[in-house]
């Protein structure tokens, strides 16, 4: 073991010494666009790939059909399937440049673009929705989504994250996560900021060398502390494997040739300098990293792999440098970069399913699995059964994309991460947990069951509440009064909904000072309960609602909502919904063939084969259970789950 380690050190030292004398282009700070090869192709990406294919003696794959292209483009830019109507319009378009035109149309829709790409940035920026942020951690969504919708230039995007000087800037990104306990020296907020910024924006993993000199890269312990100093208001002492060394960290950027700052400079000066160093024109690493991440999103594999090791050799240094230089020359415009990639013939190539050959040779896109958000939104768009976002205050809910709501067991099984750390690559490989959720999970079962009823026009409208308390938490100081007209009613349903209590079993919700017949003044119930009351002869129902003092402890952290209904409520929808859903609700169809055609066109962007149609008819799709079975069968197919 000792000899192996010594050999590794000698090999690494020799390799790094060689790099010092002849640094490859992709490791240099300078960025120059290589000359484009002579070619009959007009698109720069295709000209570069043409030369690459010739050098590797590879025949380029053919192009996908128009319908397949539309499905790929819609999912890549909006995270949504094209509807049958959108697909029909695209297929009927005689414009020879209609694929390019479609990309332009999709990119021009800022809200839908932002609703999809925010999931990518939530992963990378350790931001989440529907979670309780403990300690000083905070959401940056109020800044992030508008920034994406407005297509904020990437250098300005980074500057706001790294130097949140104004009140509207996203200061939550630089705040570390405290895992409710003592943390070691490698996980202080300053070290987390260094690790996150280096990983996401420079393609450098500093986690190993935040404890000690790295065994697998050229980065040292002092490098991690040198960058962490830029995010610290006080001097930092270097700790090796959590043990103090007595040595003060020097302020040192990862690439000192770009500049630096004094270790004792004020924090606001350090942050401003950090933003400059990460985004200055001389920093060619930053655009290469972003281009590489975008290429992986569109093709399933980066030009450089892994994407967090940009010192690794790219399979085409010329393509990486040309795209990065073009990105910088176009003002770091993310949508222009996406357009550049998506209008190439390469993007429209048929998927290459044998991409694990050694050494890797690019032959086309790799099949990409739908993300957890895309999968859930796809089911919702096909059926019209969308998740809803409930307001904290009394009032109607709004239709929501999956990213806007706390993750479900289904979403997590399909790769949506728990974002208490930076996630630059999701795990999408099939697992036993995924199989269990897809077959028996309550989230998908509910969506399909209600969706089938909705498509057949058999889902009863949910009754509206007579009283809605809004969200009640330990911070709700006063009891909330309910005063409801119940004249002529015989029954009332008193509902307590568990919104997100940390310990629902210990949460006690109270209905007090009631005017119920028989002198019953108090009803105690759990965090999720329904009481049906006889109110015959009562004109008004009065009560006050709140939480019992015993359940307000921090380890219970109750969050509930009180409702009064005059008829049996729908436990899946307590609130009325305002506004339009993200995709138009599909028409109610009762003809078997019409239903089958619509499901296949929307889910797979094609019509069913004769065999598929016969099998679908056998389900009995004009009944909710039969249609639910068809929806599930289609959703389980690889053709649905992959782009």
Could you write out the DSSP letters of every residue in 501-530?
A: -S-GGG--EEEES---GGG--EEEE-SSEE
Contact between 171 and 144 (Cβ < 8 Å): no
Residue 629 and residue 564 share a domain: no
pLDDT in tens, 41-64: 999 999 999 999 999 999 988 999
Contact between 15 and 27 (Cβ < 8 Å): no
pLDDT at 28: 86
Residue 324 and residue 297 share a domain: yes
pLDDT at 180: 54
Residue 259 and residue 314 share a domain: no
More confident residue, 215 or 381: 381
Query: Of 267, 296, 329, which residue constitutes the final position of a domain?
Result: 329
Structure tokens at 59: 């025949």
Query: Of 541, 569, 597, which residue constitutes the final position of a domain?
Result: 569
Residue 397 lies in a domain: yes
pLDDT at 6: 36
Mean pLDDT of 534-544: 91
Mean pLDDT of 472-489: 92
Residue 90 lies in a domain: no
Contact between 437 and 410 (Cβ < 8 Å): yes
Which among 139, 231, 159 has a CA at the least distance from the CA of 194?
Answer: 231
Mean pLDDT of 89-112: 97
Residue 354 lies in a domain: no
pLDDT at 12: 40
Residue 598 and residue 563 share a domain: no
Residue 302 lies in a domain: yes
- What is the rounded distance in angstroms from the CA atom of residue 304 to the CA atom of residue 307? 6
Residue 483 and residue 385 share a domain: no
Q: HSE (CB half, 13 Å, CA atoms) of 167?
A: 0
Q: Which CATH number fits the domain that encloses residue 554?
A: 2.60.120
Residue 453 lies in a domain: yes
Q: Rounded to the nearest 5°, which phi and psi values hold at 540? A: -135, 145
pLDDT in tens, 293-317: 999 999 999 999 999 999 999 999 9
Which among 552, 117, 164, 499 has a CA at the least distance from the CA of 337?
Answer: 117
Residue 388 lies in a domain: yes
Query: Of 279, 312, 341, which residue constitutes the final position of a domain?
Result: 279
Contact between 302 and 296 (Cβ < 8 Å): yes
Q: Which domain holds residue 591?
A: 372-461+580-641
Residue 199 and residue 273 share a domain: yes
The strand pairing partners of 573, in sequence order, are: 570
Angle value at C-alpha 452, between 451 and 455, nearest 5 degrees: 85
Q: Over 70: is that where the pLDDT of 477 sits?
A: yes
Residue 129 lies in a domain: no
Q: Over 80: is that where the pLDDT of 144 sits?
A: yes
Contact between 577 and 470 (Cβ < 8 Å): no
pLDDT at 525: 83
Mean pLDDT of 537-542: 91
| Percent of the chain clearing pLDDT 70 (strictly above) | 95
pLDDT in tens, 164-178: 998 889 998 998 776
The strand pairing partners of 562, in sequence order, are: 496
Structure tokens at 635: 């959703």
Q: Round the average pLDDT of the chain to a whole number and report it.
A: 91
Structural Rg of the chain based on CA atoms: 28
C-alpha to C-alpha distances, 160 to 172, 276, 286, 338, nearest whole angstrom? 11, 11, 15, 22
Residue 322 and residue 176 share a domain: no
pLDDT at 129: 84
Mean pLDDT of 336-347: 98
Residue 3's pLDDT band (cuts 50, 70, 90): very low
pLDDT at 175: 84
Residue 476 and residue 456 share a domain: no
Q: Over 90: is that where the pLDDT of 326 sits?
A: yes
pLDDT at 73: 98
Residue 175 and residue 225 share a domain: yes
Residue 491 and residue 430 share a domain: no
Residue 116 lies in a domain: no
Domain count, the chain: 4
pLDDT in tens, 5-35: 333 333 343 334 334 447 788 888 899 999 9
Residue 4's pLDDT band (cuts 50, 70, 90): very low
Residue 271 and residue 208 share a domain: yes
Structure tokens at 302: 């980066």
Residue 455 and residue 600 share a domain: yes
Q: HSE (CB half, 13 Å, CA atoms) of 311?
A: 13
Structure tokens at 445: 């079962």
């Amino acid at each position: 073991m000792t000899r192996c380690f010594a050999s590794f050190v000698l090999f690494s030292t020799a390799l790094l010494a060689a790099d010092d004398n002849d640094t490859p282009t992709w490791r240099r700070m300078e960025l120059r666009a290589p000359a484009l090869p002579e070619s009959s192709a007009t698109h720069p990406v295709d000209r570069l790939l043409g030369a690459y294919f010739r050098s590797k003696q590879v025949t380029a794959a053919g192009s996908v059909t128009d319908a397949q292209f539309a499905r790929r483009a819609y999912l890549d830019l909006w995270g949504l399937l094209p509807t049958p109507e959108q697909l029909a319009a695209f297929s009927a378009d005689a414009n020879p440049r209609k694929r390019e035109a479609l990309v332009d149309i999709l990119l021009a829709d800022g809200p839908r673009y932002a609703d999809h790409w925010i999931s990518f940035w939530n992963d990378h920026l350790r931001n989440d929705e529907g979670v309780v942020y403990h300690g000083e951690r905070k959401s940056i969504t109020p800044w992030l989504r508008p920034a994406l919708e407005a297509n904020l230039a990437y250098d300005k995007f980074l500057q706001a994250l790294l130097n949140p000087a104004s009140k509207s800037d996203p200061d939550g990104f630089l705040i570390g996560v405290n895992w409710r306990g003592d943390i070691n020296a490698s996980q202080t907020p300053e070290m987390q900021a260094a690790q996150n910024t280096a990983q996401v924006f420079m393609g450098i993993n500093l986690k190993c060398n935040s404890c000690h000199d790295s065994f697998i890269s050229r980065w040292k312990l002092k490098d991690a502390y040198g960058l962490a100093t830029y995010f610290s208001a006080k001097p930092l002492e270097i700790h090796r494997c959590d043990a103090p060394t007595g040595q003060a960290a020097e302020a040192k950027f990862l690439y000192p040739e770009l500049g630096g700052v004094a270790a004792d400079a004020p924090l606001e000066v350090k942050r401003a300098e950090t933003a400059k160093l990460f985004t200055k024109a001389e920093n060619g690493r930053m655009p290469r990293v972003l281009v590489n991440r975008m290429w992986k999103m569109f093709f399933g594999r980066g030009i450089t792999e892994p994407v967090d090791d940009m010192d690794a050799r790219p399979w085409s240094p010329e393509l990486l440098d040309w795209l990065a230089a073009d990105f910088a020359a176009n003002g770091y415009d993310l949508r222009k970069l996406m357009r550049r990639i998506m209008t190439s013939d390469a993007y429209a190539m048929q998927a290459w399913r044998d991409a694990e050959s050694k050494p890797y040779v690019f032959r086309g896109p790799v099949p990409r699995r739908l993300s957890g958000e895309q999968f859930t939104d796809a089911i919702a768009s096909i059926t019209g059964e969308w998740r809803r976002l409930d307001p904290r205050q009394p009032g109607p809910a709004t239709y929501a994309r999956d990213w806007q709501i706390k993750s479900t067991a289904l979403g997590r099984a399909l790769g949506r991460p728990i974002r208490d750390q930076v996630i630059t690559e999701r795990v999408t490989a099939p697992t036993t947990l995924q199989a269990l959720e897809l077959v028996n999970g309550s989230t998908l079962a509910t969506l399909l069951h209600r969706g089938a009823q909705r498509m057949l026009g058999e889902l009863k409208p949910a009754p509206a509440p007579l009283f809605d308390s809004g969200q009640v938490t330990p911070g709700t100081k006063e009891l909330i009064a309910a005063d409801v007209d119940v004249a002529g009613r015989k029954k009332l349903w008193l509902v307590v909904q568990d919104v997100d209590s940390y310990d629902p079993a210990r949460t006690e919700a109270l209905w007090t000072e009631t005017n119920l017949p028989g002198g019953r003044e108090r009803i105690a119930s759990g965090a999720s309960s329904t009481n049906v009351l006889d109110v015959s002869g009562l004109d008004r129902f009065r009560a006050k609602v709140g939480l019992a003092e015993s359940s307000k402890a921090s380890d219970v952290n109750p969050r509930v909502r009180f409702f009064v209904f005059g008829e049996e409520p729908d436990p899946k929808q307590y609130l009325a919904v305002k506004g339009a859903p993200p995709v138009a609700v599909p028409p109610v169809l009762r003809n078997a063939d019409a239903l089958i055609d619509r499901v296949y066109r929307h889910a797979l962007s094609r019509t069913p084969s004769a065999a598929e149609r016969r099998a679908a008819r056998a389900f009995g799709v004009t009944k909710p259970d039969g249609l639910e079975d068809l929806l599930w069968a289609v959703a389980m197919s690889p053709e649905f789950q992959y782009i």
